[in-house]
Chains A and B, each alone.
Chain A
Amino acid sequence: MVYLTSWDDFVERSVQLFRTSPEKTRYAMKYRHSEGKLILKVTDDKECLKFKTDQAQDAKKMEKLNNIFFTLMARGPETDITEVTGKEQTESHPSRKGRGRKQ
Chain B
Amino acid sequence: MVATRNTMMLALEAELVLQPSPLTLTISVPALPRFNERRQATRSSRRFLMVRLQLDPFLNELTSMFEHTTEKGSVWVTLKHSSDKSKVQRNKMTTAGKELEYKCLVRATDGKKNISTLVGTKDHQRFQASYATILKARMTSLKKREKKDKRKAADANKKQEVSKKRSTPAKP
Contacts and interface: CB of A to CB of B under 8 A. Distances in A.
A76 to B, nearest CB: 6
A66 interface: yes
Nearest to A79: B121
Contacts of B125: 87
A101 B92 CA distance: 18
B26 interface: no
Interface stretch (B6-14, B41-49, B72-80): B72-80
A18 B104 CA distance: 13
Nearest to A90: B121
Contacts of A56: 139, 142-145
Given A70-B124, A102-B120, A33 B80 contact: no
A101 B120 contact: yes
Contact of A34 (B73, B104, B132, B140): B73
Nearest to A94: B99
Interface of A: 18, 22-23, 25-36, 38, 53-59, 62-63, 66-67, 69-77, 87, 90, 93-98, 100-103
B128 A70 contact: yes
Contact of A73 (B104, B138, B141): B104
Contact of A59 (B99, B117, B135): B135
B135 A74 contact: no
A27 B101 contact: no
Contact of A55 (B71, B84, B143): B143
Contacts of A77: 81
Interface size class of B (residues with CB under 8 A): 35 or more
Given A74-B104, A74-B120, A59 B139 contact: yes
Interface of B: 54-55, 66, 69-81, 84, 98-105, 117-125, 127-128, 131-132, 135-136, 138-145
A60 to B, nearest CB: 8
A54 B139 contact: no
Contact of B79 (A38, A69, A76): A69
A36 B69 CA distance: 11
Of the listed residues B81, B122, B123, the one surrounded by the most CB atoms of chain A closer than 10 A to its CB is: B81
Given A54-B143, A59-B142, A103 B55 contact: yes
**Residue among B125, B128, B138 with the highest chain A CB neighbour number at 10 A:** B128
7 contacts: A30-B76, A55-B142, A63-B136, A70-B127, A73-B119, A94-B99, A103-B117
Contacts of A34: 69-73, 141
A70 B119 contact: yes
A11 to B, nearest CB: 14
